[in-house]
Amino acid sequence: MSDTVADTGGETILPAEEPNVAAHAAPVKVQGRQLASKWAKTKALLSHPRIAPHIPPTRMYNEENLKSMLKTHGMVVIKPVRGGGGHGVIKVSAEGGGYSYTQHMKTHRFSSFAALGRALDSKRNGRKYLIQKGIWLATVGGRPIDYRVKYVKEGGRWKYRSMVGRVARPGLFVTNLCQGGTMLTAAQGISRSFSKSMVKSKKREMRKLTELSTHVLTSRFPGLSQFGFDYGIDKNGKIWIFEVNTRPQ
């Protein structure tokens, strides 16, 4: 992983010095229940009226749902119900009467929905997938940035382990560090993609969503004791919850 992120203005982002970055890199050793299904966690969060507006429209994958969501949103992301690290995540778009999907740095185009469906069936290889509305994220140096918040229960109390930004590797839309993304502090990410004046309010909003979501998830699934919340902030400044991991890396 690179220590800096090149900006189109010729500047660089220096390695972050906030303690939460070092804490993020350290493995979480807290033991407890794990819940692999993204769909189960998403449904639980959608049940709460204050959290639901921050969840992108999400459905289980089938061709009918894919066609409907592409018609409504134009661009969606499909991802395995189980798994992490950005593996298997595919961006799908409807454009100019045709369709395309992008994975890694390759885009494949199709003249018909049927051809797109066959190609995606091959990529899914029988695995269950989710479809989620695509969000146009704020960027740093033209690269999408999102945020990972680690929240763990230690000694009977919930504590923040880290809150960091992750900038996508050039040419990719996924930000995962294992996919070449670069880590920086949340404050750096927010100030560089918006302004310094927004840092406190956006971090506060992510904390409130984290604590409320933790209450919902632990009430629905007792025994969970560690979370990795993946947040995005779109170009208009709205915060979205993309998914919640119960074995955060």
Which CATH number fits the domain that encloses residue 194?
Answer: 3.30.470
Same domain, 38 and 73: no
Residue bearing tokens 């469906």? 117
Residue 12: how many other CB atoms lie within 10 Å: 13
pLDDT of residue 174: 67
Same domain, 178 and 120: no
Same domain, 108 and 198: no
Query: Rounded distance, CA 117 to CA 86, Å?
Result: 21
Of the candidates 132, 152, 146, the one whose C-alpha atom is nearest the C-alpha of residue 39 is 132
Query: Rounded distance, CA 57 to CA 69, Å?
Result: 9
Query: Rounded distance, CA 221 to CA 233, Å?
Result: 27
Residue bearing tokens 């989710």? 130
| Residue 113 placed within a domain | yes
CATH (domain of 61): 3.30.1490.20
Same domain, 173 and 229: yes
pLDDT band at 19 (very low <50, low <70, confident <90, very high): very low
Query: Rounded distance, CA 215 to CA 116, Å?
Result: 40
pLDDT of residue 182: 78
Residue 101: how many other CB atoms lie within 10 Å: 19
Residue bearing tokens 């930000």? 175
| Residue 198 placed within a domain | yes
End-to-end CA distance of the chain: 15
Same domain, 99 and 23: no
Phi then psi dihedrals of residue 100, to 5 deg: -155, 160
| Residue 3 placed within a domain | no
| Residue 223 placed within a domain | yes
Q: Among 34-43, 85-94, 108-117, 218-227, which is the least confidently predicted range? A: 85-94
Of the candidates 128, 171, 145, the one whose C-alpha atom is nearest the C-alpha of residue 242 is 145
The yes-or-no verdict on residue 1 having pLDDT over 80 is no
Q: Among 77-86, 115-124, 165-174, which is the least confidently predicted range? A: 165-174
The yes-or-no verdict on residue 204 having pLDDT over 90 is yes
Same domain, 49 and 103: no
Give the model confidence (pLDDT) of 150-185 as tens digits: 999 999 999 999 999 998 887 677 655 665 667 899
Query: Rounded distance, CA 136 to CA 142, Å?
Result: 12
Residue 234: how many other CB atoms lie within 10 Å: 13
Task: Note down the domain range covering 99.
Answer: 57-133
Same domain, 215 and 154: yes
Same domain, 75 and 47: no
Same domain, 172 and 74: no
**Final residue before a domain boundary, out of 106, 133, 160:** 133
Residue 117: how many other CB atoms lie within 10 Å: 16
Query: Average pLDDT in the 197-218 region?
Result: 98
- Those residues with Cβ within 8 angstroms of residue 202's Cβ, 6 or more apart along the chain or in another chain: 186, 190, 194, 233, 237, 239
The count of domains in the chain is: 2
Same domain, 146 and 230: yes
Same domain, 187 and 152: yes
